[in-house]
Amino acid sequence: MLSKLYPFSAVIGQEELKHALLLNAVNPRIGGVVIRGEKGTAKSTTVRALGELLPPADESANEGEKRPGVITLPLNATEDMVAGGIDFHCTVRDGYRVFQPGILARADKRVLYIDEVNLLDDHIVDLVLDAAASGENRVEREGISFCHPASFVLVGTMNPEEGEIRPQLLDRFGFCVEVSAEHDAEKRVEMMLCRESFDENREAFIASYGKENERIAGKILAARRMLPNVRMTSHLRGFISELCRSSNVAGHRADLVIEQAARTNAAFRGSSVVEVDDITAVASLALAHRRRDPVPPPPEPLQSQERQNRDEQPEQDRGNKEQEQAGPDEEEDNGGQDFPDGRSGPEERPSENRAEEERQKAPEQSGDSDDADEAALPEQVFEIAAPFKVRPISSPKDRAMRRGSGRRSRSRVLQKQGRYTKSTMKRRNNDIALDATLRAAAPFQQHRENLNGMAVILHDQDIREKIREKRLGNLLIFVVDASGSMGAKGRMAASKGAVMSLLIDAYQKRDKLAMVSFRKDSATVNLPVTSSVELAAKLLREMPVGGRTPFFAGLLKGYEIARNHLLKEPDARPMIIIVTDGKANKALGGRKPLDEVFDLSLKIAGEERIRFLVVDTEEPGLVNFGLARKIAGMLQAEYFKIDDLQADTLLKIVKNTTS
C-alpha cells in the first residue's frame, strides 16, 4: 500500500457504519453500502481502513495477500480503464490482441470503493451496475470479446450537498448509512488525540491498534466459515416480509438483503441460528433508502384538498380548452372584468376608492384578482419558503459540439477537455487518442515495414481521435413576477421557495444565471449573467414585492438577455424560467397588456434555441384564469404549478396515474 492507512479499530464512533461494513466484509452478497453524510465524518477513512481487515481473496494465493482489499474507482476513469481493453505492449509484441483487465477485474472478490459516487459519470455507473448485478464483466469492444468474474462489494460515499444519486443506482446498494458528526465533546476530544498521534508517528500508532485489528479480522474470517451453516426459521422470514411490506419498499431486493444480512449478523455473533434481534439490527440499514411513504397520505385536510384539486385539474383543463375553442369572447370577458383598471390608469383614481372596492371584491374572489389593489399595497419583502428538491430539468443530448463546463446537460465538446468517452476515426482537432491509435495499429506491427527505427509503425488509418463529453451548465434566466398580486396569501413566499429550490439545483449543476424581476412600471435586470448563485440567492431574499404587473417588459428583458447570450455562444441552450401568475396589467404600448404578452410569446417561441419553463403561481381557488398556462402554451414552454416542481410530487402523480 502506498500510504499507511488509519486503522479501522481506531475509528471512534460511527458504530452503524462500521457494523454495516463488517457485515459486508463477511458476506458480499448483501450488496454493498452507500454512505451519506456531511464532509469530514470519517466516511472515506473507515472504508479505506476496511481493506486491511479483509482476508486474502484467494486463501491459497500468496500474491493476493499483497494486493489491497479496497480498489478505488477514481472519478476520472475512462470506460476502458474500468472494463478493460487491449494491452498494447503485449499486442505489439505478439501480433494479436491481448486483453488487459481493468478496474472491475481487479475488484473481483474485493471492495470496490467509489468516493463521491453521486458525481460519477452515467456511462461508468452503467458499467459498474452491470457487473455488480451479474457478478461478471463482459467486454465487447475494439474487437475483443472477453468475460471475467467480477463479484465485489460496492461501497460508495457521497455528500448530499453535491446532488443526489440516481435512484436506480441507490437501490443497488444493499445498505444505506447516514453518518453525522459526533455530538459528544468527550468523543470529539478523543478523536483529536487519535488523529494527532497518528499524524505524528504513523507506524507506532498503527502498531498499537494491530491487535485489535487482528481480532476483528479473525472474527470476519470465522464468520465467513460459519455463514453457510446459519439457519433461519420460516416464521422469521415471514417477519422480514412483513417488515418490508409495512415500510412500502419497492421490489423484493430489501427482503433478500435483510435475509442475507440477518444470517450474516448471526454468523458474526458466532451463532448458527438467526434470532429476531439479528433482523432488527440490520433492518434499518436495508430499509433506510428504500422506505417510501405509505400510499394513502395521512388524512390532513389540507393535503386531501390539494389532491382533490389535482384530480379536478384534468377536467378543468378540458374545460379551459373547450372554452378556448368555443368562445374566445367569454375569455375576453373574463379578462375585461379584471384588467381594465390597470389600463385606465390607477393613478387617476383616488386610492381609498379602490381599496374599498377591493374590500368588497375580496370575499367573493378570495384574492385571486387583486391586481387592482397592487399599487395600493405597500412594498413588502417576503420570507423564502422552505426549499425542496426540484425535478430534473435538462436540455436533450444532441450531436452538436459545445464549449463550457457545468453539470446540467450532457453534450459533446470540441475542447480538449472533458471526459474521454470513446474514440473515433474521424479527424477533427488532433486530440489524438493514443491508446486507441496504438490498439488499432498493434495487430499489424509484425507485418509492417520498419523504415525509421520506430518501435511502433503508425499508418494514417490507425489514427483515432478522442470524443469527449462533458456536462455543461445552461444559462438559466429567471424572470420573476414581483408585482402586488404575488404578495397575496404568501404566494410570493412560495414562489421564492420555488426559485430558491431552482437556484440550489442550479448550483449543483453549475449553471450560469441571470435574474429579471418585473413590477410597477418596468422590468429590472437584478442580476446580469453570472455564475455566482450566492449573489442570486441574496438578491432573491431582498426582492421587494408590490406594484402592478408589467409582464411584457419582463418577458422582453429576459428574451433580450437570452438573445445576447446566443450571439456570443451560438450553440448555447439558454432557458428562461418564468415565475408568474400570468396576470399582466401594465402595458408597454397602447394595447391590452395581455394581448401584448400573447403576441410577444408567439413571436419569441419561434427561437428554437431558447427553452421556456413557466412556473405558475396561481393558487387553485374558485376562479382560475389559467393565464400562465395559456402563455406557456404559446411559448411552447414546459409548464408546472409550483407544487408540481417538486421531484417527489411528480413521482407521486406518475404513480397515482399508473396504478
Partner 1 sequence: MKQQYTYPFTAIVGQEQMKLALVLNIINPTLSGVLIRGEKGTAKSTAVRALADILPEIDVISAVPFNLAPDEDPEVIRECFAVSGGTLPLETTPAVEKYKVKVVELPVGATEDRVVGTLDLEHALKAGEKRIEPGLLALAHRGILYVDEVNLLDDHVVDVLLDSAAMGVNTIEREGVSFAHPSRFTLVGTMNPEEGELRPQLLDRFGLCVHIEGITDPNERVEVMERRFAFEEYPEAFCQRWSEESERLVERIKKATELYPSVSVSRESLMAIANYCLEVGVDGHRGDIIIMKTAKTIAAYEGRKAVEQGDIDTAAMLALPHRIRRQPLQDIVMDVSSVLKSRAFERVSG
> Which member of 172, 290, 402, 407 binds partner 1 (CB under 8 A)?
407
Ramachandran quadrant class, 430 (left: phi over 0; alpha: psi -120 to 50; beta: rest): left
**Stretch (H or E) spanning 516:** strand 512-519
How far, in Å, are 21, 429, 437, 441 from residue 425 at the CA level? 45, 12, 9, 13
Helix, strand, coil percentages (3-state) for the chain, rounded to 5, are 50, 15, 35
Please give the residues from 80 up to 109 whose contact with partner 1 meets the rule CB under 8 A.
80-81, 85-89, 92, 100, 103
Q: Which is nearer to partner 1, 66 or 568 (CB)?
A: 66
Rounded to whole angstroms, the Cα distance separating 167 from 293 reads: 16
> Which member of 53, 258, 523, 533 binds partner 1 (CB under 8 A)?
533
Rounding to the nearest 10 degrees, give the CA dihedral for residues 593, 599, 600, 605: 140
Q: Which is nearer to partner 1, 307 or 541 (CB)?
A: 541
| The three three-digit cell numbers of residue 436, written as one number | 486507441
How far, in Å, are 195, 391, 445, 575, 621 from residue 647 at the CA level? 41, 4, 55, 19, 24
> 237, 253, 410, 510: which is the annotated catalytic residue?
253
> Which member of 115, 259, 371, 619 binds partner 1 (CB under 8 A)?
115
> Which member of 10, 54, 77, 128 binds partner 1 (CB under 8 A)?
77
Q: Does 177 bind partner 1 (CB under 8 A)?
A: no
* CB 509, CB 473: distance < 8 Å: yes
Please give the residues from 24 up to 53 whose contact with partner 1 meets the rule CB under 8 A.
38-42, 44, 48
Q: Which is nearer to partner 1, 211 or 428 (CB)?
A: 428
Q: Which is nearer to partner 1, 163 or 490 (CB)?
A: 163
Q: Which is nearer to partner 1, 181 or 623 (CB)?
A: 181
Q: Does 182 bind partner 1 (CB under 8 A)?
A: yes
Q: Does 537 bind partner 1 (CB under 8 A)?
A: yes
Q: How far is the CB of 41 from partner 1 (least distance, A)?
A: 5
Q: What is the edge-to-edge ordering of all strands in the sheet holding 575-580? A: 522-530, 512-519, 475-481, 575-580, 611-616, 638-641
Q: Does 503 bind partner 1 (CB under 8 A)?
A: yes
Q: Which is nearer to partner 1, 185 or 451 (CB)?
A: 185
- Applying CB under 8 A, the span of 195-203, 240-248, 306-314, 621-629 interacting with partner 1 comes to 195-203
Q: Does 196 bind partner 1 (CB under 8 A)?
A: yes
Number of residues that bind partner 1 (CB under 8 A): 77
Q: Which is nearer to partner 1, 506 or 634 (CB)?
A: 506
Q: Does 320 bind partner 1 (CB under 8 A)?
A: no
In terms of DSSP H, where are the helices of 405-530?
A: 434-441, 491-508
In terms of DSSP H, where are the helices of 227-275?
A: 234-246, 253-269
Q: Does 183 bind partner 1 (CB under 8 A)?
A: yes
Q: Does 128 bind partner 1 (CB under 8 A)?
A: no
Length of the chain, in residues: 659
Please give the residues from 341 up to 400 whose contact with partner 1 meets the rule CB under 8 A.
387
Q: Does 411 bind partner 1 (CB under 8 A)?
A: no
* 563 catalytic per annotation: no
Q: How far is the CB of 97 from partner 1 (least distance, A)?
A: 13
300 phi/psi in degrees, rounded to 5:
-85, 140
Please give the residues from 414 up to 473 whose contact with partner 1 meets the rule CB under 8 A.
416-420, 434-435, 438, 453-456, 458, 470-471
The Cα diameter of the chain in Å comes to: 98
Q: Does 148 bind partner 1 (CB under 8 A)?
A: no
Q: Does 2 bind partner 1 (CB under 8 A)?
A: yes
Rounded to whole angstroms, the Cα distance separating 354 from 361 reads: 10
* CB 216, CB 9: distance < 8 Å: yes
> Which member of 61, 133, 147, 193 binds partner 1 (CB under 8 A)?
193
> Which member of 99, 209, 507, 640 binds partner 1 (CB under 8 A)?
507
Rounding to the nearest 10 degrees, give the CA dihedral for residues 81, 82, 87, 88: -30
* CB 512, CB 530: distance < 8 Å: yes
Among 69, 274, 283, 266, smallest CA distance to 175 is for 283
Active site members = 253
